[in-house]
Amino acid sequence: MPTSAEIRASARESLSGNWTSAVLHFLLYYVIIGACGMLSAIPIIGWIGVWIVTGALTFGVLNFYLSISRRENPQTADLFSGFGRFVDTFLLYLLSTIFVLLWSLLLIIPGIIAAFRYSQAYYILKDNPGISALEAINRSKEMMVGHKGRLFVLGLTFIGWFLLSCVTFGIGLLWLAPYFYTALGHFYNDLLTRSASAPLPTPPSPYKEAAI
């Protein structure tokens, strides 16, 4: 299995020659998120509006940098690709949030583990346009068996860079975020190759409640 250092090296290689596009597109995403933050200040209506679009925006930004990790030269429209699958991305965000909150009722740690368990669902939804949000979550759970610790360690290796970004009043995040998201894309690509030969989980029956 590739180490965190090797995944980061792969991310830097993918970003080589693409840093300008990667940074500018994250800046665009950052502006949109900032606008959503201002919208959330509106009582009730603003909060609901942010909740509704978060799934689509998350899908778009994660998969924009997944495309960079695959050397696919993504376009600006890819940042908004989640709105083309609005129902699926909204349901994915809603269900994963509910499941994580339910696990968090036990203790913080189970909630964090659950978040890692569902972390690949947006990527899976992109690679499998015909599946539902719930099936993407189930496939993510299956894919992350034995790999949650690896993702945790990968995240830890970016803490120093994050602290340095804070020193620059957040400006450094314009470079750190593309680096981090591209590394996450490489992490998913590695999981995908490892699970390619494994049978996919059986799609849930509409009459059978999925375990969270």
How far apart CA 36 and CA 27 sit, in angstroms, is 14
Q: How confident is the model at residue 73 (pLDDT cuts 50, 70, 90)?
A: confident
Quote the distance between the C-alpha of residue 46 and its chain's center.
23
pLDDT number for residue 49: 79
Positive or negative torsion for Cα 60, 61, 62, 64: positive
pLDDT digits (tens, 9 = 90+) for 113-144: 999 999 999 999 999 998 999 999 999 999 99
Residue 198 pLDDT > 90, yes or no? no
pLDDT, mean of residues 180-208 = 72
Question: For residue 148, what are the contacts with CB-CB under 8 A and spacing of at least 6?
Answer: 113, 116, 117
Q: What is the pTM of this model?
A: 0.86
pLDDT, mean of residues 178-195 = 94
Residue 200 pLDDT > 50, yes or no? no
Q: How confident is the model at residue 196 (pLDDT cuts 50, 70, 90)?
A: low
